[in-house]
């Protein structure tokens, strides 16, 4: 009985919190309508799939591999990203490029996004600015883990 | 000269009193005292060259900074390796060395092992003041069987030139042109084709000479090293096996990526031959990792315990019926001293087996320096233990033999498969201890995977009679067992002297037991 009463009290508390938020937001929105500038803004609901919020410029989104002017990957397979990656989700295999100025290119470059923690260390470690996380794409959820393993073609394209 | 060299004198390095041998150089004396002086061109195997200027030190009473690699110590010499002048000079030297260095560390295989990289990190850390463009040179010049020269990365330490002049005496490389244009190159129409060329990539302090075999395979910081002994000839060169422990999510096909020389002045100095350096595929290719059961009555569980019990039973019944003449043994000299000793004790001494053969690779050609003609590491050990090394004779082997214990995969290389099958089919029970999955395995009733020398503990006797111990550098794959363990287990199963075999928890204890029985092996314990 007393336990049930406890639940009841919590429901009332929750209702009060909601009311407080409602009143506070209403207050700031009224101030905005009246043209009074305040530091705090009233909160707004974004209708997500239809309506999208702009992503901050330093936001870390899906990776991409940069290319040279001729379309070859800029990556030289130095494996610093592999070394620094805390979730061990990058795998690179190097191969010999016939051009002596390039010499080394990635034959395989695999990122397992199902394991990636989006820390951005790979971007920071890259000496060639070959990997970036600035695509702005945050919608790459998949139904199977296998589809989250991105290879060279997917990362360049 | 020898007498003088042993006299000790007192010098001061960084105000710390240090005892140094008279006649030695400042650099050597400092290394002995545990003080590292950075150096690039100096290599302990060659006389000092003094071309890199990295080893500058300040010596009290000398107006200028001196080269520690070529300055001989004197009584009461006061040397400072960390004074402001030295630090400044080192920075300046590094800046000049890096002025023409391409800084392509991301594609350089030496990155991680590179001394220039290490020294910049330790003593440099400056912003380059050179704004001029760097000179273009040859970036990918094949100079030998498996060597690639990048002239841009070269710092002209001439270690490679001196190696070819003093060790192999072939003099294939030289420094061409003068001043800023000077570069290391091969003489026209020649290439570095000796059996020790791989050492050039190892002694190059930067990434100028790199190994084609290791080219772009992995990065050196992923590799871990394990000490071992090269089993490919009877010299017993000391080696470092560099292996990749693997990535947690992505499987790698091979473990071993390269072999390096390990210094041992008594055996191989600083060098190993190319056969030992590049012939590491035997460590990974075609390895057996499971016990194979082709035909064995009344047994269906595949564990070594069951099999050793079964083998012990069979051998015991044969020896109690005085039929040990029906036992034959095929050995090889890749087995360690301890293993050969146990085999000698079990089969030759206790069971009085007469048909003991040795199946080894056919003799090769010696090259007059390190590589010997015997392509197995422990022939001398087998002789010292008391084996008479007889080549396999299939007709004697099959004649009246009921039980064959064979070690090693080498049998298949000596005879044609058809001939071998014919001879072996006459033998009732056959057991093979081999590290490889091979066609040969199908001819035996049971095949037990065993560890290679790089994966077990023990000792080897090289061609000069030096007994060298080794520790496992790699993990044996799957169910593989070291042979000494297999033989101890088998020895325990045999009723004859089973207490003897349970006294050995490790090969070290077997070796000390050997020292008491065979005077030759006593030397090592002194």
**pLDDT tens, position by position, B479-508:** 899 999 999 989 888 877 777 888 888 898
Domain that holds residue A84: 64-156
Whether residues A145 and A77 fall in one domain: yes
- Of the candidates A76, A82, A115, the beta carbon closest to that of B107 is on A76
Residue A19 resides in a domain: yes
The contacts of residue B332 (CB under 8 Å, 6+ apart) are B358, B359, B360, B376, B407, B408, B410
A58 closest CA partner among A129, A149, A120: A120
Query: DSSP labels for A7-42?
Result: HHHHHHHHHHHHHHHHHHHHHHHHHHHTT---SS--
Q: How far is CA B342 from the centre of its chain?
A: 25
**pLDDT digits over B217-233, tens only?**
999 999 999 999 999 99
- Per the domain annotation, does A59 fall within a domain? no
For position B3, what pLDDT does the model report?
47
Give the model's pLDDT for residue A21.
95
Tens digits of per-residue pLDDT, B446-484?
Answer: 899 999 999 999 999 999 999 999 999 999 998 899 999
pLDDT, position B526: 44
B194 token code pair: 């000796």
Alpha helices per DSSP H over B59-176: 84-99, 115-119, 159-166
Question: What digits encode the pLDDT tens for the residues B366-381?
Answer: 988 999 999 999 999 9
Residue A54 resides in a domain: no
Same domain, A78 and A16: no
Across the range A109-134, mean pLDDT stands at 95
Q: How confident is the model at residue B417 (pLDDT cuts 50, 70, 90)?
A: confident
Clarify whether residues A71 and A141 are in a common domain. yes
Chain A residue set in contact with B, beta carbons under 8 Å: 76-80, 82-83, 88-89, 91, 94-96, 100-101, 103-104, 110, 112, 115, 127-128
Contacts of B250 in chain A (CB under 8 A): 91, 110
How high is the pLDDT of residue B301? 63
> Do residue A82 and residue A147 come from a single domain?
yes
| Whether residues A75 and A131 fall in one domain | yes
* pLDDT at residue B2 greater than cutoff 50: no
Chain B hits for A110, CB-CB cut-off 8 Å, are: 250
Percent of chain A past pLDDT 70, that is, above it, reads 100
- Which residue of B107, B140, B247 is in closest CB contact with A91? B247
Mean pLDDT of chain A: 93
Q: Is the CB of residue B253 less than 8 Å away from at least one CB of chain A? A: no
Q: What are the start-end ranges of the H helices in B50-182?
A: 84-99, 115-119, 159-166
Confidence of residue A88 (pLDDT cuts 50, 70, 90): very high
**Is residue B386 predicted with pLDDT exceeding 70?**
yes
Residue of B nearest to A76 (CA): B107
- pLDDT on residue B248: 82
B136 touches chain A (CB under 8 A): no
Q: What's residue B499's pLDDT?
A: 79
Task: Report percent pLDDT > 90 for chain A.
Answer: 85
List chain A residues with CB under 8 Å of B134: none
Query: Same domain for A106 and A146?
Result: yes
B251-278 pLDDT, tens digit each: 888 999 999 999 999 999 999 999 999 9
Answer with the residue of higher pLDDT: B519 or A84: A84
What's the CATH code of the domain at A137?
3.30.70.3270
- pLDDT per position as a tens digit, B348-372: 988 888 899 999 988 888 988 999 9
Beta strand spans in chain A (E): 64-65, 90-96, 104-112, 131-132, 149-150
- Look at residue A56 and tell me if it is in a domain: no
- For residues A41 and A88, membership in a common domain is answered with no
Q: Do B222 and A83 touch (CB under 8 A)?
A: yes
Alpha carbons B72 and B400: distance in angstroms, whole number? 72
pLDDT given at position B321: 85
pLDDT at B92: 94
How many residue pairs bridge chain A and chain B with CB atoms within 8 Å of each other? 44
The two tokens of residue B263 are 């210094």
Q: Please indicate, yes or no, whether residues A71 and A148 belong to a single structural domain of this protein.
A: yes
Is it the case that residue B4 has pLDDT exceeding 80? Answer: no
In a domain, A16, yes or no: yes
Provide the 8-state DSSP code for A80: H
Task: Give a yes or no: residue A133 inside a domain.
Answer: yes
Cα–Cα distance, B419 to B421 (Å, whole number): 5
Q: pLDDT class for B1, splitting at 50, 70, 90? A: very low
Distance from CA of A68 to the nearest CA of B (A): 16
Residues of A in contact with B220 (CB under 8 A): none
Pairwise CB contact (< 8 Å): B106 & A83: no
Position B426 confidence tier, pLDDT thresholds 50, 70, 90: confident
Q: What is the pLDDT of residues A1-56, one digit of tens each?
A: 888 899 999 999 999 999 999 999 999 999 999 999 889 888 888 999 899 989 99
**pTM across the whole model:** 0.88
For chain B, give the mean pLDDT.
90
For position A25, what pLDDT does the model report?
94
Number of domains in chain A: 2
- In this structure, is residue A116 part of a structural domain? yes
ipTM above 0.90, yes or no: no
Determine what percent of chain B is predicted with pLDDT higher than 70.
Answer: 97
**Rounded to whole angstroms, how far apart are CA atoms B181 and A145?**
56
A36 and A79 share one domain: no
Chain B residues near residue A91 by CB distance under 8 angstroms = 247, 249-250
Cβ contact B295:B322 at 8 Å: no
A chain contacts of residue B217, beta-carbon cutoff 8 Å = 94
- CA–CA dist B340, B507 (Å, integer): 11
- pLDDT tens-digit map of B45-99: 999 999 999 999 999 999 999 999 999 999 999 999 999 999 999 999 999 999 9
Same domain, A107 and A75: yes
Q: Residues A68, A36: one domain? A: no
Residues A2, A39 within the same domain: yes
A52 assigned to some structural domain: no
Q: What percent of chain B has pLDDT over 90?
A: 64
pLDDT tens per residue across span B287-315: 998 888 887 665 566 788 888 888 888 88
């Amino acid at each position: 009985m007393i336990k049930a009463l406890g639940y009841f009290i919590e429901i009332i508390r929750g209702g009060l919190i909601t009311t407080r938020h409602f009143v506070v937001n209403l207050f700031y929105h009224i101030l905005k309508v009246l043209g009074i500038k305040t530091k705090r803004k009233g909160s707004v609901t974004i209708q997500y799939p239809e309506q999208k919020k702009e992503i901050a410029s330093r936001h870390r989104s899906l990776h991409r591999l940069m290319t040279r002017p001729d379309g070859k990957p800029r990556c030289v397979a130095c494996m610093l990203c592999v070394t620094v990656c805390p979730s061990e989700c990058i795998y690179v295999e190097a191969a010999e490029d016939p051009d002596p100025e390039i010499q080394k290119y990635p034959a395989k470059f695999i990122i397992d996004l199902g394991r990636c923690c989006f820390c951005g260390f790979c971007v920071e470690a890259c000496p060639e600015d070959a990997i970036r996380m600035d695509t702005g794409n945050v919608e790459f959820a998949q139904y199977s883990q296998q589809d989250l393993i991105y290879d060279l073609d997917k990362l360049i394209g | 000269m020898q007498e003088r060299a042993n006299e000790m004198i007192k010098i001061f390095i960084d105000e710390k009193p240090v005892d140094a041998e008279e006649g030695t150089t400042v650099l050597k004396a400092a290394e002995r005292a545990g003080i590292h002086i950075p150096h690039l061109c100096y290599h302990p195997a060659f006389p000092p060259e003094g071309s890199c200027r990295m080893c500058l030190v300040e010596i009290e009473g000398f107006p200028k900074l001196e080269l520690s690699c070529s300055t001989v110590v004197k009584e009461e010499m006061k040397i400072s390796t960390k004074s402001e002048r030295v630090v400044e000079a080192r920075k300046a030297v590094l800046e000049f060395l890096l002025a023409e260095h391409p800084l392509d560390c991301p594609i350089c295989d030496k990155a991680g092992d590179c001394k220039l990289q290490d020294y910049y990190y330790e003593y440099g850390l400056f912003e380059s003041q050179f704004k001029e463009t760097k000179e273009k040179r040859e970036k990918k010049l094949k100079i030998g069987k498996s060597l690639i020269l990048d002239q841009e990365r070269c710092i002209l330490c001439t270690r490679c030139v001196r190696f070819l002049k003093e060790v192999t005496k072939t003099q294939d490389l030289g420094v061409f042109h003068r001043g800023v244009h000077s570069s290391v190159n091969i003489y026209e129409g020649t290439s570095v084709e000796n059996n020790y060329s791989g050492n050039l990539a190892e002694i190059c302090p930067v990434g100028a000479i790199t190994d084609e075999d290791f080219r772009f395979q992995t990065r050196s910081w992923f590799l871990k090293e394990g000490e071992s002994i090269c089993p490919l000839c009877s010299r017993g060169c000391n080696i470092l096996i560099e292996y990749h422990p693997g990535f947690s999510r992505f499987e790698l096909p091979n473990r071993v990526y390269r072999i390096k020389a390990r210094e041992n002045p008594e055996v191989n100095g600083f060098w190993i031959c190319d056969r030992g350096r590049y012939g590491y595929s035997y460590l990974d290719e075609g390895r057996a990792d499971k016990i194979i059961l082709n035909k064995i009555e009344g047994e269906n569980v595949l564990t070594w315990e069951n099999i050793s019990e079964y083998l012990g039973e069979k051998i015991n019944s044969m020896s109690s019926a005085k039929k040990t003449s029906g036992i034959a043994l095929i050995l090889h000299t890749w087995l360690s001293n301890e293993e050969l000793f146990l085999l000698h004790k079990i089969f030759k001494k206790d069971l009085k087996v007469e048909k003991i053969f040795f199946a080894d690779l056919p003799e090769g050609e010696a090259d007059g320096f390190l590589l010997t003609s015997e392509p197995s590491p422990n022939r001398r050990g087998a002789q010292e233990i008391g084996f008479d090394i007889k080549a396999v004779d299939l007709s004697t082997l099959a004649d009246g033999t009921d039980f064959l214990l064979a070690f090693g995969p080498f049998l298949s290389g000596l005879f044609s498969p058809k001939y071998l099958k014919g001879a072996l089919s006459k033998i009732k029970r056959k057991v093979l201890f081999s590290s490889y999955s091979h066609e040969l395995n199908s001819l035996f009733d049971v095949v037990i995977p065993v560890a290679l020398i790089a994966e077990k503990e023990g000792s080897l006797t090289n061609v000069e009679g030096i007994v060298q111990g080794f520790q496992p550098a790699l993990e044996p794959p799957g169910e593989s067992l070291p042979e000494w363990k297999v033989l101890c287990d088998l020895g325990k199963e045999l009723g004859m002297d089973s207490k003897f075999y349970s006294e050995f928890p490790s090969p070290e204890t077997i070796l000390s037991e050997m020292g008491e029985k065979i005077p030759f092996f006593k030397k090592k314990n002194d």
